[in-house]
Amino acid sequence: MSKRMLITGGAGFIGSHLADELLRNGYTVKALDNLSPQVHGPNAARPEYLNPEVELIVGDVRDKAAVTRALDGIDAVYHFAAAVGVGQSMYQVAEYTSVNNLGTAVLLEALADRPVERLIVASSMSIYGEGLYRNPDGDISEGLERSLQNLKNHDWEVRNNRNAALRPAPTPETKQPTLSSVYALSKYDQERMSLMIGRAYNIPTVAMRFFNVYGTRQALSNPYTGVLAIFASRLLNNRPPMIFEDGLQQRDFVSVYDVARACRLALEVPDAAYRVFNVGSGQARTVLSVAHAMANVMGKAWIEPEISGKYRVGDIRHCVADIHLARRMLEYEPRVAFEEGLKELAEWLSGQVAVDRVEGMRAELNSRGLAL
């Protein structure tokens, strides 16, 4: 009899791809998802992309009865249910704390009553704040933040105490967190609570720190989701991608297929228990270059990105994954080249309709003084 997996948030972007990965490898999959209108639209129903073999329970992770029902007969749990968005978390503080922190607590209490063979929790690169940096002399610096005065002066780079601009370096799991948004704080709380309760109740637990995940099934009408989905939404409506700062901030973009495979490996590798892993591509790309690449594959190269020259409170300058630990312990290797991943995404986008809510998001942040 195949092992039975529960994915909280399993009807979402990453959760649904993970379900496909698990089903392909012989597992049985159940999903618990509240079909949030911000992600699934106002008349949310079971998504067409969700594999028909997935048993879907519509319910909220904060509802203990729904969680208990979903856990019935389950061998391992992937906890992916979360409110996602750095900017939005800075004004919907109670909602993000409720969904992410309280939701995790409810799940963990249920697991304490009924332990499973493994718990894998989705964490985020956002907990690092700024990534690691190299000083001009080559030494590594961490825990740095940009001053508000420099940001107001459009001096975007991270500087040391001698005012020298620093070069980004790959960020390993050992870097101390610098929590610069409510979202980051809540993801760190999810991660730490899960590992803590996992150890206390002998539930082998793994935390996966996702970097910038992209691919098909992203919520195109959610202006707080992944940057590639936001760019795609603008381009589908023949509007320019909107970029904060100068667009030269560096990120690590990783295919959802690679993420799903890494999460399956975290389930299957015994020594992964009680560890934290970066899940990225290990490659740095500027946000501006990604906007141009997205426009090119969508046949809209004539649309130039709009560079706002504004800073969004909670944003960081550079962060790229060091994936050596996942390579060594999980035998994880990114397989999807960025160019190929974008081509598949563009093909999927050609059949999609997106409601562009970016202007509303920008107005919301501006009205609250969260975009400087």
Show the tokens assigned to 369. 């003084």
CATH architecture of 4-367: 3-Layer(aba) Sandwich (3.40)
What is the predicted pLDDT for the residue at 16?
97
How far is residue 356's CA from residue 235's CA, in Å, rounded to a whole number? 9
> What's this model's pTM, rounded to 2 decimal places?
0.94
91 CB burial (10 A radius; 0-12, 13-18, 19+): middle
What is the predicted pLDDT for the residue at 45?
87
Q: How far lies 160's CA from each of 131, 139, 142, 284, in Å? A: 14, 11, 10, 22
Task: Enumerate the domain spans of the chain.
Answer: 4-367
What is the predicted pLDDT for the residue at 196?
98
Q: 192, 201 in Cβ contact below 8 A? A: no
What is the predicted pLDDT for the residue at 180?
85
% helix, strand, coil for the chain, step of 5: 40, 20, 45
Q: Which residues of the chain have pLDDT under 50?
A: none
What is the predicted pLDDT for the residue at 139?
86
What is the predicted pLDDT for the residue at 126?
93
Long-range pairs, 199-205, Cβ under 8 A, ≥24: 199/274, 200/112, 201/111, 201/112, 201/115, 202/115, 203/111, 203/115, 203/116, 203/118, 203/119, 204/117, 204/118, 204/119, 204/273, 204/274, 205/118, 205/119, 205/120, 205/121, 205/273, 205/274
